[in-house]
Chain A
Amino acid sequence: MSSGSSTLSAERISAARSSPNQRAWRRFLRSKPVIISGIFLLVLLTLVFLWPLISTYKPDATTDAQFKPPTSTHWFGTDVHGRDLLSRTFYGARISLLVGAVGAMVSLLIGVTWGAVAGYVGGRTDNAMMRAVDILYALPSIIFVIVLKSAFEKDLKTFLGHHFSIITASYASMVFLFIGLGAVSWLTMARIVRGQVLSLRSRNFVEASKALGASHTRILFKHILPNIYGIIIVYLTLTVPAIILYESFLSYLGLGVQPPQASWGSLIAEGTQQINSIRIYWWLIVFPGAMLATTLLALNFLGDGLRDAFDPRSDSRK
């Protein structure tokens, strides 16, 4: 009897005292833009994954039907080689989304490590590490990407071509795209994490844990990181669209994916090359551009929703 009532009250307490993170997630899932964006992204991901099964056109099957405007057979029209643009857009979505996800993970790894170490160690180390971030801010990031790609890509390609297959080697350029984009996008993350860690480090519960003889790893992983994971997720979500946008810029420069592979950026770049005053091939830009813009919108809405939910200072738009 008594045990039954005690579990009941325990449940009630746990419901009332759900952690701030749990409450944040609940707030997040109630917001309307978040729901709409989430559904859009889920549908997009499903379509992208299942595209090889659904599609009637192969993304790199060339035909004689060049530059056909959108019709019932080719919903998005065809491009310079008569390839179906709808199929190529979904095929390109794969790389664009993958670049965003992997690039954001790379930036998360570097940024959180850098920021956490600087904030936790403090003192001179902190000073030096943050100075380095300041200096990297003053250097245009495009240099790093180009240097990284041109310095190492060829070596890796020949290495992979020798030891593995040619196909693996063709993925080498994409690997550098991922790493390069992540490697230039971690600066803001490092600054934010460092600030948070610095303020948490001197809080009482950390001091208490230290006095009890907890190791640095335990303090960092048990006490500090769980308290900042909300803000990390927020900036991670906002990094994804930024990296997808950066990839489209690199593809425009010809540094992105190499044809016949495609990303949204490289499709748009192909479209801009076809601008002339005689015939207007608007569909080459409008459709990949609209897909890119809608995805960026959805990701940004998700990021905004997360920030409203996790940041105690920003009360959500009611």
Chain B
Amino acid sequence: MFPVLLIVSSIGFVLIRSMPGGPFDSERKPASAEIERNLKAKFHLDEPLWKQYLRYLGVTGDASGLIRGDLGPSLKYRNHTVNDILKQCLPVSMTLGAMSFCFAMFTGIPLGCYMALRRGQWGDHLGGFIAMLSFCVPNIVIAPLLILWLAVKLHLLPVALWGSPSQMILPTIVLGLYFSGRIARLMREGLSTTLHSEFVTTARAKGVSETAILWKHAFRLGILPVVSYSGPLLADLLTGSFVVENIFQIPGIGVFFINSIFNRDHTMTVGLVLVYAALLLILNMLVDLSYSLLDRRVRYE
């Protein structure tokens, strides 16, 4: 895991530095060359790239750096460190992401089970159509329309911002809807394959009731595709979505991430890339673990 993070951080570091322009381009103009030089010296941007990277890692330089869990100062918001901004904004994105994840699971799994049980009948086709529709309508379309209809026209829900529970409803639905369709299809695929496998036929022949077959035997294997998808999905959702946070004016980390690339806020970008990668690796590990719990045939050395 740590070697991967190291490589990810170095790729991110090199990529972001290879872009033209620097973090201080949009400072008050005309910024004299001297000011820029001083700023660069302060953040050690005048050193060669490899030295900067070692300093960022914390191998050289003062008592900070990545190995001590310090992601450095933000080059754009210079009164804050990246850790500060993460501490403020990551919880917001994580709350929204976790709620959307639950929404997607609680709508996707029942729909998928329904489709698998009605396989080949019109309920299956209708469900399949709804599931596909949910990930074919992009959230830049569904979000403004829901705002215009539910918030502006009917005054049922707040238009934007973050804080009260009623403000969380629309962003949660918008963010989760895309994935509930994906989950429904995976659930259908997994469950209908399991329901047609030989051990289910054996159970049926033994006279086990259909409910017991579904809940005791088939479900825990049928949900495996959903489980393996939920690792990358959760990593995606927890690190924020630019579109949803931007449309609903939510102070999350997704907006910071995109803006940091535009602002050439190098430390911020690499820091957020690292958070995403670490989250993804941890969640994939958890997925592997839960695999062996759900499917006894899977054993890890």
Binding site for B on A (CB under 8 A): 134-135, 137-140, 142-144, 146-147, 150-151, 154, 241, 245, 248-249, 252-253, 265, 268-269, 271-272, 275, 277, 280, 282, 285-286, 289, 292-293, 296-297, 300-301, 304, 314, 317-318
Contact = CB atoms under 8 A, between A and B. Distances in A.
Contacts of A134: 4
A297 B144 contact: no
Interface SS majority for chain A = helix
Interface of B: 4, 7-8, 11-12, 15-16, 18-21, 119-120, 124-125, 128, 132-133, 136-138, 140-141, 143-145, 147-148, 152-153, 159, 189, 232, 242-243, 247, 257-258, 261-262, 269, 273, 276-277, 280-281
B144 A293 contact: no
B258 A139 contact: no
A289 B8 contact: no
A79 to B, nearest CB: 15
A2 B212 CA distance: 64
Contacts, number: 107
Nearest to A295: B136
Contacts of B7: 135
Contacts of B153: 280
Given A285-B141, A297-B136, A252 B19 contact: no
B243 A252 contact: yes
Nearest to A318: B120
Nearest to B128: A317
Contact of A150 (B20, B243, B273): B20
Contacts of A293: 133, 136-138, 141
Contact of B261 (A137, A143, A154, A241): A143
A300 B141 contact: no
16 contacts: A135-B4, A135-B7, A138-B4, A143-B16, A147-B16, A147-B18, A151-B20, A245-B138, A249-B138, A249-B243, A275-B144, A280-B152, A293-B136, A300-B136, A317-B120, A317-B124
Given A135-B4, A297-B132, 10 more contacts: A138-B280, A138-B281, A139-B11, A140-B273, A142-B261, A147-B15, A147-B19, A150-B21, A301-B132, A317-B120
A11 to B, nearest CB: 35
Contacts of B140: 248-249, 252, 265, 268-269, 272
